[in-house]
Chain A
Amino acid sequence: MAQSYDRYEQIKRFEKDLSQCMKCGFCTFWCPIYQEEKIEASVARGKNMMIRGLLAGELDYTSEYADRLNKCTLCMACTVNCPAKANIPNVIVAARADTVKARGLKFPYNIVYRWLLPRRRLFGWVVRFASWFQGIFMPKTEGTIRHLSMFLSALGKGRNIPQIAPKFLRQMVPVINKPPAGVKTEMRVGYFSGCITDFVLPHLGKHIIDFLTKNGVEVVVPREQGCCGAPVFLGAGDFETGRKMADANVKAFEGLDYVVSDCATCASALKSYAKFLADTPQRKKAYDKFAKKVKDISEFLVDVLKLPASAYKPSAEAKGKKVTWHDPCHLSRHLGITSQPRQVIRSIPGVEYVEMPNADRCCGMAGAFSVNYYDLSKDIADKKAASIESTGADIVVSGCPGCEIQLIDCMVRNKLPVKVMHIMELVE
């Protein structure tokens, strides 16, 4: 096929990945979507060949094209196992961006992505507004979990998810959080609070800030920070809005040496600003510099703060429990962080660690993907449930609130008595 990149500014940037695929089909073995659907357009090879078809003028921006491109969790399982080292998720994100540029965003995404997500306070207000209705219209399910019709926060669709918190993180903690009296300040870091932590799991954010301050870290929570942009530029391909969000976040954390995140998706999105959004040399420089500061919480504790094992004491919920770890795609394959979280869990006295089979298999969340393709997302999650169940663990922990939400839904649906927690909730 003769290909022309003229009209495809973003795809062109990943020309090497696009042309490197040699169509061996090995990715079919690793792709969570292909494993469910068994259709060639599900997998990296097929998607890449569709994009080549677009460049060759044989395909167009049809709804089928968009659908096949959107049906990818960007889990990177294809990439790390690709013998040709072709990063097809790069090409997919770029193709989404070129589509948005040519065709615009559809309702309701245009409202949510362009207008709401970049405005954290307004977004919070809308989420709060939606939360008033959740208890009224939706039936209650087990424990603190309710059905929630939450299209605005792009999570709902009959899914069992935790309810919106009565108080958001930004209302719970001050900008500057200093170590308590008697504890020496060793370091000063910024804390990046993702949307889910902010609105749904603020106690987690508070808990992490407390843990850090207790261990001699002064934690700054800049109010100007916003959504990391993952659903906007990676999920939907809206690079223009993505840049605005990236610039705001870079600015919010200026002057801080580290940006610590409890969300793997956020951390990897913050680190990929340079790859996808840098349209000028200035942005490239700023984004590269920013990326170096971003640390996942377990990476920060193990590699930067180098906490001794004695710093990890089991929380009341974790004491004496059997715990297994789910590798979020954004942590393991996107950022290469796999040993640090395991080291943290193993350091906690009185907690028994068991490795689950296929711990790094995608859980099927991937933001808007799981809303648009909820059935598919559930099928992928059920495989995870079987892995978790086989370990006999009492608790499954992860390093990504997005995965947590998926796992909670999945445990409830499969009626498994396994508690889903963030890794930091294991420690006191």
Chain B
Amino acid sequence: MLEKKLIAKLEKIVGKGVVLTSKEDLTTYSYDGTTTWAHMPEVVVLPTTAEQVSQILKLADDSKVPVTPRGAGTNVSGGSIPIKGGIVLCTVKMNKILDINKTNLTATVEPGVVLQDFNMALAKQGLFYPPDPQSFLGCTVGGTIAENAGGPYCVKYGVTKQYVLGLEVVLANGYIMKLGGVTVKNRTGYELMMLFTGSEGTLGVITKITLRLIPMPLASKTMMAVFDDMAVGGQAVSNILASGVVPAKIEFVDNFVLRRIEEMMPMGLPVDAQALLLLMADGSPTAVEAETEQIVDTLKKSGAREVKVAKDAEEAAKYWKMRSAGFAATFGAAKTVLAEDVAVPRDKLAEFIGKLGEISERTGFFISNLGHAGDGNLHPAIFTDVSDKENFAKAQEAMEEIFEAALSLGGVLSGEHGIGLEKQRFLKRAMDPVALNLMIKIKSLLDPNHILNPGKIWEEERV
């Protein structure tokens, strides 16, 4: 239990009303977007300034109380769960867009700005920030930095880390540190910003972010391709990339997800298809025309049964809405869903999909699949039930086989969701041991008392 004195001190820092201690409120900060992880914090604070964050961390560091940073709690790796209790430091009240600079093509925001609010503010000025995790209605910009999030647009435009120009980070000892700046190029020392981008709240609390922007593309076209064989669809993706065009998005859903979506929102999808690819070309109107033609041609040559080009924005929006329902379609399908986030080299997609089929046959678990095919980033899912111990254990074994398959093809454990709690069991196998050790040393250097999001990323006994 936290001392009463500590709560009083927190209240002194941020004011009453934004320090939550009732059991009811604590319950609502015990979970994130994962299905099974949960742990209660002892107190929740919602600061509004970096200065307050600094004082909170100093207090926590002095008293050796764990602090788990949290944005909107939409991550799906257990990242924002206060697994050791202590303080949840929630950034959602730090939600000002501080600057949008149309000439420098940059924006500076506080961490709690919701990604969609940011997108809407940018759209008003004809600007575009490409990283688009499909949780954009909920997730905060700070959360996307801490998770180095990605999304459909990342095939062409890259992930979050490619857009971070400057950060303000509060260190565990309370120091408010400035990194980077507002220039696109910056070669001043180590790329320390990258250390915090993707750090999952374990190294510091991000309190200000400067991002690179691009002008809103003038035109776009959306295509949907239908395949009778999943691996053929995977090969088509590699063929498109090899043909010399990089579409803005290449997304993939399998037959299972497709049928679930059609059930949830009937829209006349080809429910017998084994795989659907959704693609987008964007840029200047003439480039979009030419690229669309080339993509359609490659899709057909690669064995697509049918290729449709959305005739207007409305039809395109319908296709993308369908894709974004994929997550709900998967997660609503069983009591417990083990959804993974592996990424493989893009020329190995077809091979990986083949391996998934073999694993499914060998283990007897049905594996559903959807993902950002253009990045080689897939979310294969296994349906189980935690309360059925035997089944759950077997499901986890099947999941391990999926990881092994991805790693054996030169792939990685997590493409975008992070390690958090969910995947730390596998980290040893997925990382060079020296690199892993270095990571832990960096953590100890920046946060000697291990107060920041302790228990995350690697398994504890290594420390």
Contacts and interface: CB of A to CB of B under 8 A. Distances in A.
Q: Are A and B interaction partners?
A: yes
Contacts of B22: 62, 64
Interface in A32-66: 38-41, 45-46, 49-50, 53, 58-59, 62, 64-65
A5 interface: no
A81 B33 CA distance: 17
A85 B32 CA distance: 19
A58 B31 CA distance: 14
- B: contact size bracket: 35 or more
B24 A68 contact: yes
Contact of A29 (B34, B73, B137, B324): B137
B35 interface: yes
B382 to A, nearest CB: 16
A38 B46 contact: yes
Given A26-B138, A83-B325, A50 B24 contact: yes
Contact of B25 (A1, A20, A26, A39): A39
A36 B227 CA distance: 46
Contact of A25 (B24, B25, B72): B72
A420 B269 CA distance: 45
A20 B329 CA distance: 11
A46 B88 CA distance: 15
Given A29-B138, A40-B25, A59-B24, A22 B332 contact: yes
A83 B137 CA distance: 11
Nearest to B33: A23
Nearest to A66: B24
B24 A24 contact: no
A22 B72 contact: no
A25 B138 contact: yes
B38 interface: yes
A410 B18 CA distance: 27
B327 to A, nearest CB: 7
- Main SS class of interface, B: loop
A83 B324 contact: yes
A309 interface: no
Given A28-B72, A29-B114, A65 B24 contact: yes
Q: Which of A26, A28, A45, A59 has the most CB of B within 10 A?
A: A26
A386 interface: no
Interface in A284-304: none
Interface in B1-56: 20, 22-25, 27-35, 38, 46
Contacts of B93: 38
Contacts of A126: none
B332 A59 contact: no
A39 B92 CA distance: 8
A23 to B, nearest CB: 5
A41 B28 contact: yes
B328 A46 contact: no
Interface residues of A, number: 31
Nearest to A68: B24
B138 A28 contact: yes
Given A1-B38, A29-B137, A49-B28, A64 B23 contact: yes
Contact of B27 (A23, A30, A59): A59
A24 B35 contact: no
B74 interface: yes
A84 interface: yes
A24 B327 contact: yes
Interface in A54-105: 58-59, 62, 64-65, 68, 81, 83-85
B175 interface: no
Contacts of B74: 24-25
Interface string A9-27: 0000000000010111111
A59 B112 CA distance: 29
A29 B116 CA distance: 9
B239 interface: no
Given A49-B31, A50-B28, A59-B24, A24 B264 contact: no
A41 B25 CA distance: 6
Nearest to B115: A29
B327 A83 contact: yes
Contacts of A50: 24, 27-28
B135 interface: yes
A38 B70 CA distance: 13
Contacts of A39: 20, 25, 28, 46
A40 B28 contact: yes
Contacts of B426: none
Contacts of B23: 58-59, 62, 64
A40 B328 contact: no
Contacts of A2: 387
B331 interface: yes
B135 A26 contact: yes
Contacts of B139: 25
Contacts of B112: 38
B24 A23 contact: no
A50 to B, nearest CB: 6
Contacts of A28: 72, 114, 137-138
B142 to A, nearest CB: 14
Contacts of B327: 22, 24, 83
B24 A26 contact: no
Given A29-B114, A84-B328, A84-B332, A23 B28 contact: no
A25 B33 contact: yes
B137 A20 contact: no
A319 to B, nearest CB: 36
Nearest to B326: A83
A336 to B, nearest CB: 15
A49 B34 CA distance: 13
Nearest to B93: A38
Contact of A22 (B33, B114, B116): B33
A123 to B, nearest CB: 34
Nearest to B73: A25
Nearest to A81: B137
B140 to A, nearest CB: 10
Nearest to B321: A83
- Which has the most chain A C-beta neighbours within 10 Å: B23, B29, B93, B95? B23
Most buried by B among A1, A22, A65: A22
Interface in A398-413: none
Contact of B135 (A24, A30, A65, A84): A24
Nearest to A25: B138
Nearest to B74: A25
Contacts of A58: 23, 27
Contacts of A68: 24-25
A64 B35 contact: no
A20 B331 CA distance: 9
Contacts of B325: 83
Contacts of A27: 138
Contacts of B33: 22-25
Contacts of B31: 23, 49
B92 A49 contact: no
Given A24-B74, A25-B135, A39-B28, 12 more contacts: A1-B38, A24-B328, A30-B137, A39-B20, A41-B24, A41-B28, A46-B28, A49-B27, A49-B30, A53-B24, A84-B328, A84-B331
List the 7 shortest-distance A-B pairs measured between CB atoms, nearest first. A25-B138, A83-B328, A46-B28, A40-B28, A29-B137, A22-B331, A64-B24
26 contacts: A20-B332, A23-B31, A23-B33, A24-B74, A24-B327, A25-B139, A28-B138, A29-B137, A38-B93, A39-B25, A40-B25, A41-B25, A41-B28, A49-B28, A49-B31, A50-B24, A50-B27, A53-B27, A59-B27, A62-B22, A62-B23, A65-B24, A68-B24, A84-B328, A85-B264, A85-B328
